[in-house]
Chains A and B, each alone.
Chain A
């Protein structure tokens, strides 16, 4: 190849490189350089929408794992458990103004989910206690997961119905319809069916604490009241305020037969990983130590060790 031909080929390819460069420039800077009309989406806009959409998908998945058991599958709320969040006044800022929040709606949601509610707004209407969800405050979720949840909840904004969620205090409450009483736990002679295939990392794990250690039981009670009692009930009978919405019903820890069919390692596994097909979420983010304390407290209801 002669020198001049090589130079020519080099120049041609250098000029050809302008084609992909121009294509990327139009896609990324179309609006800025005025090639793409403002009404039209650029490639960059589409990518941003794609990633925002994926974030909403992640949020929906998390909502289906952690939030639906109190707030309802589609955020419609569960009477006497937790308020609707798919409602207009919350998502257009009226509710925030009402409670004196001067920040953005997203910020309100983000803080509420992250830090929970130390004091319930309306204990007269809703029994469940919003726990802290962000790892920052000792909950199970990472910051990006909180962001995804907020994105998912905010996506209701355009369609949220007007719900009168806050009758002024003193208005007669809807009469409590006695929900189906907690289903008696499966009376089974043998072992609980979920315990037949315990993953190897859980099989045979042993408690680091004594089952009658009062300090451990007290520590377990603290976490239990915060995180578990909404569904499993303050007395462990599986009749917590959120239990009405759940099927199958939460486990009843006072049921001796049920507890006997639930070996300690299996219970640890069920708390850590959650129970598929039920409302029980995985709690392993709490850490093994906290789970053991809760487990020991739960076992103290029935006395089965």
Chain B
């Protein structure tokens, strides 16, 4: 640079000095500049660059995939056998944290869909969905009694994707309860809880309780009437925990943070929902999953595990590598699951939001959430209490009054015993086998008693859930029931999950569907020709009124609606607001019966009840 015609310029010495002081890496690179001048040199350089580039990319891939080069990752996703030796797909499981949680391979038959139905996977999937959507909802939710409901309104009507997130969170919660329950049923029916997996079953029952707790604590947070009363009903059971004066009092106080649920109770349920229970769930899921994946593996189908044919037994235990078979399968199901949740929430299901909670106003027919209906059914005690009452009446005793505390027994003691038995299932089973001197077998035909008991428990749950619904054993005065059918105070959530609520025919017709006027229902005893939906509804109300009149006649019921008449009035109340009055009058049969019933609601032009 500083030479010309062989003469070194004065700066050349300085340049030499500088060159000497260059960092080694740069000094080594200098000859490359010389190579660029020849064609050969250039192609060599290009070759070197390519090689180095590939090495960098390959090393990066090895770092990211924790042990597999590009070629092996490619081969894996193409479904080709591994290229390098030893099998780099196994290296991943010792190098990477998340991979080390998973097994290297599954026993082939244990992954059969009809054996597990993927229920454990689905439960984990739902839990992750709940965590993600829950964290986002937490940003917008305020756990204060004067702000909670308003923040729900904001999430629905102001936050982009807010309603969708909430809907997915709700769907995930319901799915998680369903899936966890079915998972337990599956494990029970296939006998997978037996030795050596007994303790895994115990952690599973803990997870069932945690799932119910998570779902239930989340139920209160919207702070609407549905939430408030469902949780009030649930926590009222704690009140009767014996001895009532100590255990009942304290557990009620701990749960509700006071005599009734208020700010304290809301905060308790919120913190339980977002910190305590998720933390416990993560701990127990870890233990549960460790035992399944590392210790014992997923159980094999009993028919193959206990097959007399050694070939079948051997085939069942054939290795199915996690990479890539199980991984791609899980990713595929994750994609399908995400789509299902996203689409269901966007097009088919919206989480309900009723009126603001009101401690002074109990909506008619409030129930616990569907998964606790069976306890509510037991609280109604359709079996023991009537029997004891019958004995009391026949013999003039007062057993019920003096000795039998039904809410404590049916609402607290029995459910607790049920869960204790659930915990002990594998040990009871083992004891039973020992008692009869049998060797343990998971085959259905060898455990007929167990399987019968399992299905009987399912039947018991369904039956008592039915007892828990308002359809069983709860009757308001007949006129009130008619009002409830057509104009419920709050929309009615069906006792089956993931079905939209029913807001009654009047609200469904809405502002536009209720033409102004006074309608004498007796004129709608026979449906008019070409009835509009509104007229069809009037016909239905009249039919209900008539039915009650007939019933009162036949049964000679003193509380009945004798000669009942119905009026339906729609008034223009305000700009875009109609007042709707359903009035039923009858001839009272007993003193104190006012002989009339009135149900009033207002409908705004913009409110939509589906």
Contacts and interface: CB of A to CB of B under 8 A. Distances in A.
Interface string A26-51: 00110010000000000010111111
B517 interface: no
A23 interface: yes
A9 interface: yes
Contacts of A53: 576, 604-607
Contacts, number: 153
A62 to B, nearest CB: 10
Interface in B574-609: 574-577, 579, 591-592, 594, 596, 598, 600-608
A19 B343 contact: yes
Interface in B53-67: none
Given A3-B79, A6-B332, A56-B604, A51 B157 contact: yes
Contacts of A29: 160
Interface in B110-152: 146, 149-150
A57 B591 CA distance: 35
Contacts of A64: 600
Contact of B328 (A6, A25, A197): A6
A14 to B, nearest CB: 5
Contacts of A145: 356
Interface residues of B, number: 56
Interface stretch (A155-163, A166-174, A239-247, A293-301): A155-163
Interface stretch (A98-106, A218-226, A277-285): A277-285
A47 B79 CA distance: 49
A136 to B, nearest CB: 10
A21 to B, nearest CB: 6
Contacts of B163: 28, 47
A14 B150 CA distance: 34
B383 to A, nearest CB: 24
A3 B328 contact: yes
Interface stretch (B263-271, B305-313, B333-341): B333-341
B339 A17 contact: yes
Nearest to B510: A53
B328 A20 contact: no
Size class of A's contact patch? 35 or more
B345 interface: yes
Contacts of B577: 56-57, 60, 155
Contacts of B325: 3
Nearest to B592: A196
Contacts of A19: 343
Contacts of A58: 355-356
Contact of A10 (B164, B331, B343, B596): B331
Contact of A277 (B146, B342, B594): B594
Contacts of B99: none
Interface string B326-363: 00110110111011001101110000000110101000
Contact of A51 (B153, B335, B600): B153
Interface centre among B342, B355, B574 (most CB of A within 10 A): B574
B573 interface: yes
Interface of B: 76-79, 146, 149-150, 153, 156-158, 160-164, 324-325, 328-329, 331-332, 334-336, 338-339, 342-343, 345-347, 355-356, 358, 360, 573-577, 579, 591-592, 594, 596, 598, 600-608
Interface of A: 1-4, 6-7, 9-14, 16-17, 19-21, 23-25, 28-29, 32, 44, 46-54, 56-58, 60-61, 64, 74, 142-145, 152, 155-156, 158-159, 193-194, 196-197, 276-277, 282, 284-285
18 contacts: A3-B77, A19-B343, A20-B345, A21-B342, A32-B160, A44-B160, A46-B606, A47-B156, A57-B601, A57-B607, A58-B356, A61-B602, A144-B149, A144-B150, A155-B575, A193-B591, A193-B594, A277-B594
Rank and list the top 8 A-B pairs by shortest CB-CB distance, nearest first: A196-B592, A53-B604, A53-B607, A3-B79, A20-B346, A53-B606, A49-B606, A48-B157
